[in-house]
Amino acid sequence: MTDPIADYLTRLRNAIRAGHRVVDVPASNLKKEITKILFDKGYILNYKFMDEQGPQGTIKVALKYDLRSKDNAIKCLKRVSRPGLRRYVGYRDLPRVLNGLGIAILSTSRGVMTNKEAADLKVGGEVLCYIY
C-alpha cells in the first residue's frame, strides 16, 4: 500500500455507503490524529484505539448517522495531497472547504490540525484531505 491515508478515507467512505455502524482501520499515529479531529468536529460518533491486534493496532470508528433520515454526518471525504503530488500551502493560502462549512485537515510543523486552527496559529503545511 503506497498511500495509507487514502486507504483510511476509502474505508470510511465504503462503510458509509454500505450503511455500517462501525469500521475497523489499521492504525498509525497520523490516522489516530485524523480520527481525533473527526471526533472533535462531530463527524464521527466515537472511536477506540485497539493496540492488541497487529504491530500498530487498529482503530474502531463508530460512524454518526441522523436518526430520522439515516444520513451520515460525513457527506464527502476527499484526499488532496497524494504521494505522487504533494500539496503544500502557506498560512495566507489556507483552503476554505464548502465556504467554511467543511474542514481541511493539514499536517503542519505543529502537528495535525484543521484549516481554522492553522489560520489561528498562522502556520501552513501539507493539505491531507477535505471533509464535509
Domain boundaries, the chain: 4-63, 77-131
Give the whole-angstrom CA distance, residue 72 versus residue 63. Answer: 8
Res 70: pLDDT: 86
Res 57: pLDDT: 92
Res 5: pLDDT: 96
Q: Could you confirm whether domain 4-63 is CATH 3.40.309.10?
A: no
Mean pLDDT, 10 residues at a time, the chain of 132 residues: 92 96 95 97 95 85 92 94 94 94 97 96 97 96
Res 51: pLDDT: 85
Rounding to the nearest 10 degrees, give the CA dihedral for residues 91, 95, 96, 101. Answer: -100
Written as nine digits, the cell of 103 is 474542514
Res 1: pLDDT: 66
φ, ψ for residue 26, nearest 5 deg: -60, 140
Q: Which CATH number fits domain 77-131: 2.60.40.10, 3.30.1490.10, 3.40.50.300, 3.30.565.10?
A: 3.30.1490.10
pTM over 0.75: yes
